[in-house]
Structure 1
Amino acid sequence: MQDSQHQTDTTMQRLVIITGPSGAGRSTATQILEDLGFEAIDNIPMSMLRRLLDAPGGDRPMAVGVDIRNRDFSVEGLQDLVEWLEARDDLALQLMFLDCSEDVLVRRYSETRRRHPLVPDAPAITGIEQEIGLLAPIRAQADIVIDTSELSPHDLKAALAEWFSDDRASTMGVTLHSFSYKRGLPKGVDMMFDCRFLHNPHWDPALRPLNGLEKAVQAHVEQDPRFAGFTGQVQALLLDLLPAFRKEGKAHLSVGFGCTGGQHRSVVVTETVARGLAEAGWQVSIRHGEQDRWGRGATKRDRQA
């Protein structure tokens, strides 16, 4: 299967097959790709897909959603379809697998009160476990694996735009994340830096409810004598590595900066490094993983950065 980090041949029609366990976000992803300019088709029988691709007029990129609810779905059938598509010289194929943890899938089924399509008369967890095991060979074969366990629809849209938007610059894209170590390591990050050694604004009662986008917090963190050296060395490292990654065909690099609560120190460092990379000409986007919790009734412990 083609290297998913390389740009596809513009003389070939781009085809993205989206699959994964039920409830992982396949329908949402298909709709997002439609918004990005793809001809999007969800739940088409795999036998009909072959006929569709042989029909004239297929000049737009196409996104096709496939999972166990397809009438003629089987793992072997999907693998045979992928093999047939890869053999065609008019298609640039990418197989995208949307993954999700069992506990999140169970919660989603509980919230929607849906039955699992594999075992409609049994608890959802039974079908979820069976489906994850069934799809393991497809996951291993995928070009792109996105874990949606902690992604909102907005986050998923941003992730897919990084992979598939035709509007992004030809340079490699860079996303910098701030995150909270309390809530675990972020998914899909290529490298991480720990910011917990810097002076903590949490211990200043006036700064505690604020966040790292505010000047008072930034000034507090920047006064740490280690701040300038740390951010300067991280920026220099990334500026040294980014051209090498791009030369190897990598389309996107994701870098995480963590502190205890993801509200103060990691946010300041993320913003500082992002400015430096942008000034050097790199396409940079920023995600603050805890931003939705800032100032919205977070507990005292939640506010600790």
Structure 2
Amino acid sequence: MTSEGALRDHRGELVVVTGMTGAGRSTAAKELEDLGFYVVDNLPPNLLRHVVELVDESKGVEQPIAVVVDVRSGIFFESLKANLAQGRTGRRTTLLFLEADDDVLVRRQEAARRPHPLQGSGRLLDGLQRERAVMQDLRGSADVVIDTSNLNVHQLTAKVAEAFGTPESVSLKITVVSFGFKYGIPVDADLVADMRFLPNPFWVPELRAQSGRDREVADYVRSRPGAQEFLDQYLPIIRTVGEGYLREGKRFMTVAIGCTGGKHRSVAMTEALVNGLLETGFDARAQHRDLGRE
């Protein structure tokens, strides 16, 4: 995980993503999109300024933008250096260049079963060598260069996140959802826990009309045998899975906590789990799907 000290503010930044075919431009673009950038793929360089103007008008000048430019742009690619050199975009611009060794690029292209855009009637390696010649000057002026020869997808996304993420954008966001089993399990749940092992406050007359967000119900649920033991054992599980998600490049996690109707036990335990996660530094929030539905 990236340390916050290595991250900076990317509001209003324009990142131009380019590099060798097969080096991971699409993966980098997807990661930038996950980091909050407005991403445009295969953009003719002479349209850079127009894209910036459109985003400024529709999303504001602080919206970060990433554009992917490669040799598919043909003759337009030659204008990229001129556009960047003359600062025509009006934004702080960073050039990200992705590269890899020829043997790695050949293997990746062969695995994808796609010809190189500059290959023509020659070999795949011929296309790569032509591309390197075209890219040489641009590679030398790049602000960030990432060699993906020995990186897998997750390692590459981590590199991009380190370069272009912010503390907020690279953190794991956990949503803990309370629900009622009689209404169905949330389809987007990554983890599901069943609170029906706890006594139901519904059968306590003075608690029936209240919900798990009320102090009396929350105290009742958490004081029942097994409730605190569940919290003590389940919170470390969520944290362990969450840390694994971050290592795999996933930044969103949904934990579903259910009871019969989604009003008492699941709500109280959801609030308790969220508080526990917040205390240990996780970005967590509660969502009560079925509260008020009965």
> What TM-score do you get using the length of structure 1 for normalisation?
0.49
Amino acid aligned to 2:69: V
Amino acid aligned to 1:128: L
Q: Secondary structure at the match of 1:17?
A: strand
Q: Secondary structure at the match of 2:119?
A: coil
Deviation at 1:124, TM superposition (A): 0.4
CA contact (8 A) 1:17 1:66 kept: yes
- C-alpha distance after superposition, 1:111-137 (max 9, x if no partner): 112111012322100010111122111
- C-alpha distance after superposition, 1:56-79 (max 9, x if no partner): 23431011100100254333x111
Q: Secondary structure at the match of 1:60?
A: coil
Query: Does 1:67 find its partner at 2:66?
Result: no
- C-alpha distance after superposition, 1:98-123 (max 9, x if no partner): 01111101111111121110123221
Amino acid aligned to 2:142: A
- C-alpha distance after superposition, 1:258-305 (max 9, x if no partner): xxxxxxxxxxxxxxxxxxxxxxxxxxxx99xxxxxxxxxxxxxxxxxx
CA contact (8 A) 1:45 1:72 kept: no
Q: How many pairs align? A: 162
Cα distance in 2, alignment partners of residues 168 and 51 from structure 1: 29
CA contact (8 A) 1:118 1:127 kept: yes
CA contact (8 A) 1:67 1:73 kept: no
Query: Does 1:36 find its partner at 2:35?
Result: yes
Query: Does 1:84 find its partner at 2:83?
Result: no
In 2 relative to 1, CA 9–64 (structure 1 residues): closer, same or farther, beyond 3 Å? closer
- 5+ long unaligned stretches in structure 2: 1-5, 170-245, 248-294
Cα distance in 1, alignment partners of residues 34 and 168 from structure 2: 15
Q: Secondary structure at the match of 1:117?
A: coil
Cα distance in 2, alignment partners of residues 9 and 61 from structure 1: 6
In 2 relative to 1, CA 91–8 (structure 1 residues): closer, same or farther, beyond 3 Å? farther
Cα distance in 2, alignment partners of residues 25 and 61 from structure 1: 20
Aligned equivalent of 1:232: none
Q: Secondary structure at the match of 1:18?
A: strand
Q: Secondary structure at the match of 1:74?
A: helix
In 2 relative to 1, CA 8–140 (structure 1 residues): closer, same or farther, beyond 3 Å? farther
In 2 relative to 1, CA 8–114 (structure 1 residues): closer, same or farther, beyond 3 Å? same
In 2 relative to 1, CA 35–148 (structure 1 residues): closer, same or farther, beyond 3 Å? same
Cα RMSD (Å) of the superposition? 2.4
Query: Does 1:93 find its partner at 2:96?
Result: no
CA contact (8 A) 2:7 2:164 kept: no
Residues 142-291 of structure 1 aligned to structure 2 (within 5 Å)? 142-167=142-167
- 5+ long unaligned stretches in structure 1: 170-285, 288-305
- C-alpha distance after superposition, 1:195-223 (max 9, x if no partner): xxxxxxxxxxxxxxxxxxxxxxxxxxxxx
CA contact (8 A) 1:38 1:61 kept: yes
Amino acid aligned to 1:116: H
Cα distance in 2, alignment partners of residues 16 and 137 from structure 1: 18
Cα distance in 1, alignment partners of residues 166 and 38 from structure 2: 14
In 2 relative to 1, CA 8–115 (structure 1 residues): closer, same or farther, beyond 3 Å? same
Aligned equivalent of 2:44: 45
Cα distance in 1, alignment partners of residues 33 and 115 from structure 2: 27
Structure with max Cα Rg? 2
Deviation at 1:51, TM superposition (A): 1.4
